[in-house]
Amino acid sequence: MSQTQTNQRVQIVTADPSAIGLFGLAMVTLVASSAKLGWTDGVSFVLPWAIFLGGIAQLFAAVQDAKHNNTFGTTAFGAFGLFWLGVGTTWLINYGVFGEAAAAAADPNQLGVAYIGYLIFSLFMTIGAMETHKVLFIIFVLIDFLFIGLALSTLGIMPEFMHQLAAVSELLIAIFSFYGSAASVLNNHFGKVTIPVGKPFGIFK
């Protein structure tokens, strides 16, 4: 007696999360760069955008990209979402939320080392971005300069120039991320290229 086994494969369709991820990046870098450029003061009102847009929105995009089996998108959005949650936590430490002892023991050089770690990460992700599209590649190049500026200014190496480099890079990241988010939404919505993002370089594929 033989039995016939039938396997069914269920495919769950999920939307492209790039738009919300890039929007989250655009918002947090826009607000944060306004403080670095001296247009606004302090980071108290940067903190909510760091948590919800820089952190949670990008983590949401990372989870959704994982459903698309997109290792690059999952890693990029996940890592940068966690970065902004980490940055927000350092601000909370400085404000004494975790106690005066924690605030007094904070060593800015450790933050500088963390920026170096993220610079290493963004450099090899920039190589991967070459095979996505040119707008995303530009964003990653600007992120590279942002981390160079953040790392060196935090470590006291040409602090004024490096701070300005980080500020300008961050503002440009916001502008290009808004553009990339708009392209992702409208190109998918209309089913055609309404906002061009440029083809992959095609060097590695």
Listing DSSP states for 66-125 in one string gives HHTT-HHHHHHHHHHHHHHHHHHHHHHHHTTTT-HHHHHT--HHHHHHHHHHHHHHHHHH
Q: Does any domain span residue 81?
A: yes
Residue 61 structural domain? 18-183
Q: Does any domain span residue 121?
A: yes
Segment 88-94 shows an average pLDDT of 97
The average confidence (pLDDT) of the chain is 94
Cα–Cα dist 47/99, whole Å? 18
Half-sphere exposure of 24 (CA within 13 A, CB side): 28
Q: Does any domain span residue 203?
A: no
CA angle, corner 67, sides to 62 and 73, nearest 5? 35
Is the model's pLDDT at 1 over the cut of 50?
no
Q: Does any domain span residue 50?
A: yes
Half-sphere exposure of 95 (CA within 13 A, CB side): 12
Is the model's pLDDT at 7 over the cut of 90?
no
What's the whole-model pTM score? 0.93
> Among residues of the chain, what percentage have pLDDT more than 90?
92
Q: Residue 204: what pLDDT? A: 84
Cα–Cα dist 57/50, whole Å? 10
- Residue predicted with more confidence, 204 or 97: 97
Q: Does any domain span residue 126?
A: yes
Q: Does any domain span residue 7?
A: no
**Position 149: which residue type?**
G
Residues 146-178 have pLDDT tens digits of 999 999 999 999 999 999 999 999 999 999 999
Number of compact structural domains in the chain: 1
Is the model's pLDDT at 3 over the cut of 80?
no
Q: Does any domain span residue 167?
A: yes
Segment 178-204 shows an average pLDDT of 96
Q: Does any domain span residue 1?
A: no
**Position 75: which residue type?**
T
Q: CB-based burial of residue 156 (10 Å sphere; 0-12 exposed, 13-18 middle, 19+ buried)?
A: exposed
Q: Residue 11: what pLDDT? A: 61
Q: Residue 13: what pLDDT? A: 74
